[in-house]
């Protein structure tokens, strides 16, 4: 009985194997494409990858130096004018230096004012009294010299007494000259070179204050030109690096959306087919592709390495491309934004 069961199972397995082999030779069903391929509408044309960009290209705004972000004044979609504040970094250290510089400026102004206030009214009477006393001392020494000279003639004094009286008179005259000089110096007021030094120090303080104010104002990042805020990657309390790596965006991105452009990357081998009056169109990608009429603006005369890739297996990455800039004719349809990739087709000119 077991032998018949084993024989029956063998027959079943053989039948299953024959069925599997026979069905495996059938052609697999073809799966339709999710979207139709983007086909060049021109019989003789050039196809290129295009990127939509604002008029004049977008501007990536970065902080002038690393620092803590204190305030952000704009939101995505806001229209800004040139010079309008966008965000502000922490400026407290510079503001502390500004306070010290302001104090130094006031000290410099006080020093110049002090020079102009000279001489002090209370300084003159003592000096005038010193001159009067010196004059009286000279008169007394002159009288003493005359008396000594008369006494010498009468043999009542010696020549030594006359010499002493003469020396005393000269000393009194020297004291008078010094007192008169001190009085004249006080009446003349401040010394000119002292004023020059004080004014130079005051000017230095003013320039230091102006420099600090410029540094404080520098930490308020302003819009380099008018446009619309397309992207915002900074928040209060975050740390701004103050630098932007190659291919990365800044803290804010600003662009002019009054009209849009398309930057097509034309292969260096095909650029000879593009003429200044070439007819062109762009086709968006996605579920609902749209065609955009283009007008050639310029061909940028510089070949560069290809950096924006389509992602296809046959795409070359060692080629060089020429940027050809087009303007979208008319208003861009909804769903067309800066940074979107489009397929650009350019009608080839006569060779």
pLDDT reported for residue 216: 94
33 or 264: whose pLDDT is higher?
264
Q: How confident is the model at residue 281 (pLDDT cuts 50, 70, 90)?
A: very high
Q: Which of 28-37, 39-48, 158-167 has the lowest mean pLDDT?
A: 28-37
Give the rounded percent of residues in the chain with a pLDDT score beyond 70.
84
Across the beta sheet with 220-222, the strand order is: 220-222, 85-89, 67-72, 239-240
What digits encode the pLDDT tens for the residues 228-253? 999 999 999 998 887 664 445 688 99
What digits encode the pLDDT tens for the residues 264-279? 999 888 888 888 888 9
pLDDT reported for residue 93: 93
Instruction: Examine the pLDDT at 334 and tell me if it is beyond 90.
Output: no
pLDDT reported for residue 206: 92
Instruction: Examine the pLDDT at 42 and tell me if it is beyond 50.
Output: yes
Instruction: Examine the pLDDT at 212 and tell me if it is beyond 50.
Output: yes
Instruction: Examine the pLDDT at 227 and tell me if it is beyond 90.
Output: yes
pLDDT reported for residue 228: 94
CA distances from 177 to 107, 134, 181, 322 (A): 36, 8, 6, 91
pLDDT reported for residue 9: 66
Q: Which of 175-184, 307-316, 331-340 has the lowest mean pLDDT?
A: 307-316
Q: How confident is the model at residue 330 (pLDDT cuts 50, 70, 90)?
A: confident
Give the rounded percent of residues in the chain with a pLDDT score beyond 90.
35
Q: How confident is the model at residue 137 (pLDDT cuts 50, 70, 90)?
A: very high
Instruction: Examine the pLDDT at 126 and tell me if it is beyond 50.
Output: yes
What pTM did the predictor assign?
0.66
In the block, tokens 């004059």 appear at 135
Q: How confident is the model at residue 91 (pLDDT cuts 50, 70, 90)?
A: very high
Q: Which residues of 47-79 are buried (b: 16+ CB within 10 A; e: fewer)?
A: bbbbbbbbbeebbbbbbeeebebeebebeeeee
pLDDT reported for residue 246: 45
What digits encode the pLDDT tens for the residues 148-204? 888 878 887 888 888 888 999 899 899 989 988 888 888 887 788 888 888 989 999
| Rounded CA separation 63/218 (Å) | 9
pLDDT reported for residue 32: 55
The mean predicted confidence, pLDDT, of the chain is 84
């Amino acid at each position: 009985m077991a032998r018949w069961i084993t024989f029956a199972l063998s027959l079943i397995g053989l039948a299953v194997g024959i069925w599997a082999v026979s069905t495996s030779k059938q052609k697999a069903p073809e799966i339709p494409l999710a979207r139709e391929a983007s086909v060049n509408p021109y019989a003789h044309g050039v196809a290129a990858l295009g990127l939509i960009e604002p008029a004049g290209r977008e501007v990536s705004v970065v902080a002038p130096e690393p620092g803590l972000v204190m305030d952000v004044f704009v939101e995505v979609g806001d229209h800004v004018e040139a010079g309008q504040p966008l965000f502000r970094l922490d400026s407290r250290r510079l503001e502390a230096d500004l306070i010290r510089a302001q104090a130094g400026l006031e000290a410099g102004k006080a020093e110049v004012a002090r020079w102009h206030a000279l001489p002090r009214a209370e300084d003159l009477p003592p000096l005038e009294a010193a001159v009067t006393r010196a004059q009286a001392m000279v008169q007394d020494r002159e009288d003493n010299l005359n008396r000594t000279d008369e006494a010498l003639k009468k043999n009542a004094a010696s020549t030594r007494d006359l010499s002493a009286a003469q020396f005393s008179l000269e000393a009194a005259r020297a004291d008078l000259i010094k007192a008169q000089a001190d009085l004249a110096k006080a009446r003349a007021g401040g010394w000119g070179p002292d004023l020059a030094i004080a004014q130079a120090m005051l000017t230095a303080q003013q320039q230091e204050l102006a420099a600090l104010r410029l540094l404080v104002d520098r930490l308020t990042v302003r819009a380099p030109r008018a446009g619309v805020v397309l992207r915002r990657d900074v928040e209060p309390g975050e740390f701004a690096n103050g630098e932007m790596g190659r291919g990365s965006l800044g803290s804010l991105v600003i662009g002019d959306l009054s009209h849009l452009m398309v930057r097509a990357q034309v292969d260096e081998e095909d650029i000879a087919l593009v003429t200044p009056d070439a007819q062109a169109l762009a086709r968006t990608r996605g579920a609902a592709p749209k065609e955009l009429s283009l007008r050639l603006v310029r061909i940028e005369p510089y070949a560069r390495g290809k950096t924006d890739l389509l992602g296809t297996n046959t795409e070359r990455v060692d080629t060089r491309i020429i940027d050809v800039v087009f303007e979208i004719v008319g208003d861009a349809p909804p769903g067309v934004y800066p940074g979107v990739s489009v397929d650009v087709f350019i009608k080839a000119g006569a060779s």
